[in-house]
């Protein structure tokens, strides 16, 4: 089984149900958007996918490996970009990447080659010598994406990666990550509440109040209406 597979996952915070029987797939070579308004459960789902919190019901499989029972195999195939920035601003870009590579057991020339290749992929190679503090928000995010690719994962998950960026940076990063899926066969799973980050050809999972309301190709789901109108129609609270 390839890509990301989530089967019947539920999660509660005390009495509050954050996820309720969620099942979805993000396949290789596909950009799969997880669209949901604030509070839908996106961050909770990411915490479960990355093993930060444990599944109590249901299964999360990465390339067929269960994050609960085989975390080492699952995590070695997973690249993660969290919503909050996780860089050391005092270090250079290369040092930040080397540090992360070392955590994954990489070192020396091979690590440096991977760093160069990953930064090339994001059009960022000329920034390697700069301190992270000198980068703007969009470039810091690109660096975090490059970092998440260093160990050559098959599945890349990103939790609202464009939060706080200007429109131009947002669109550039969204385009880069679409290309990663199309060109390199990565299974991309991208959480957002912004419909303009989603193209008609993308796969789309609509999460609302902890449940999957709809899933399929974005263009087919929206039909003749704008994606934003479809989204509002699906998630509108009845008067």
Ligand X SMILES: Nc1ncnc2c1ncn2[C@@H]1O[C@H](COP(=O)(O)OP(=O)(O)OP(=O)(O)O)[C@@H](O)[C@H]1O
- Only one of the segments 21-29, 41-49, 124-132, 172-180 lies at the binding site for ligand X (rule: CB under 6 A); that segment is 41-49
Pairwise CA distance, residues 142 & 135, whole Å: 10
Count CA atoms closer than 13 A to 48's CA, side-chain side: 27
Bridge-partner residues for 208, per DSSP? 211
Q: 38 or 224, CB closer to ligand X?
A: 38
Q: 18 or 135, CB closer to ligand X?
A: 18
- Only one of the segments 36-44, 95-103, 104-112, 172-180 lies at the binding site for ligand X (rule: CB under 6 A); that segment is 36-44
Q: 13 or 72, CB closer to ligand X?
A: 13
Region of 227 please: left (phi>0), alpha (psi -120 to 50) or beta.
alpha
The neighbour count for residue 154, using CB atoms within 10 Å, is: 18
Q: 16 or 72, CB closer to ligand X?
A: 16
Q: Is 1 exposed, middle or buried (0-12, 13-18, 19+ CB in 10 A)?
A: exposed
Interface with ligand X (CB under 6 A), residue from 9, 22, 26, 36: 36
Interface with ligand X (CB under 6 A), residue from 15, 38, 167, 223: 38
Q: Report which of 154, 32, 146 is spatially closest to residue 45, judged by C-alpha positions.
A: 32
Pairwise CA distance, residues 112 & 107, whole Å: 8
Interface with ligand X (CB under 6 A), residue from 6, 9, 18, 124: 18
Which H helix or E strand runs over 142?
Answer: helix 137-149
237 binds ligand X (CB under 6 A): no
Interface with ligand X (CB under 6 A), residue from 15, 16, 109, 223: 16
CB of 24 to ligand X, least distance (A): 14
40 binds ligand X (CB under 6 A): yes
CB of 59 to ligand X, least distance (A): 19
CB of 60 to ligand X, least distance (A): 15
Q: Sheet containing 16-26: which strands, arranged edge to edge?
A: 16-26, 4-13, 57-62, 65-66
CB of 41 to ligand X, least distance (A): 4
81 binds ligand X (CB under 6 A): no
């Amino acid at each position: 089984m390839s890509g990301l597979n989530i089967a019947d996952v539920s999660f509660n915070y005390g009495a509050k149900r954050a996820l309720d029987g969620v099942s979805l797939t993000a396949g290789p070579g596909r950009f799969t958007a997880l669209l949901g308004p604030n509070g839908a459960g996106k961050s909770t789902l990411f915490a479960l996918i990355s093993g930060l919190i444990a599944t109590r019901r249901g299964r999360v499989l990465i390339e067929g490996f269960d994050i609960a029972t085989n975390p080492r195999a699952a995590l070695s195939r997973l690249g993660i970009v969290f919503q909050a920035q996780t860089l050391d601003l005092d270090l250079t870009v290369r040092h930040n990447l080397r540090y992360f590579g070392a955590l994954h057991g990489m070192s020396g020339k091979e690590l440096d080659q991977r760093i160069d290749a990953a930064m090339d992929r994001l059009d960022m190679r000329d920034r390697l010598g700069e301190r992270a503090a000198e980068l703007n928000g969009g470039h810091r995010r690109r660096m975090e994406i490059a970092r998440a690719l260093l160990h050559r994962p098959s599945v890349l998950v990103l939790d609202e990666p464009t939060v706080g960026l200007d429109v131009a940076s947002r669109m550039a990063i969204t385009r880069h990550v679409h290309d990663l899926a199309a060109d390199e066969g990565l299974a991309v799973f991208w959480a957002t509440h912004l419909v303009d980050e989603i193209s008609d050809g993308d796969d789309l999972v609509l999460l609302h109040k902890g449940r999957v309301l709809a899933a399929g190709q974005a263009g087919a789901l929206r039909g003749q209406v704008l994606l934003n109108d479809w989204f509002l129609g699906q998630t509108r609270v009845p008067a």
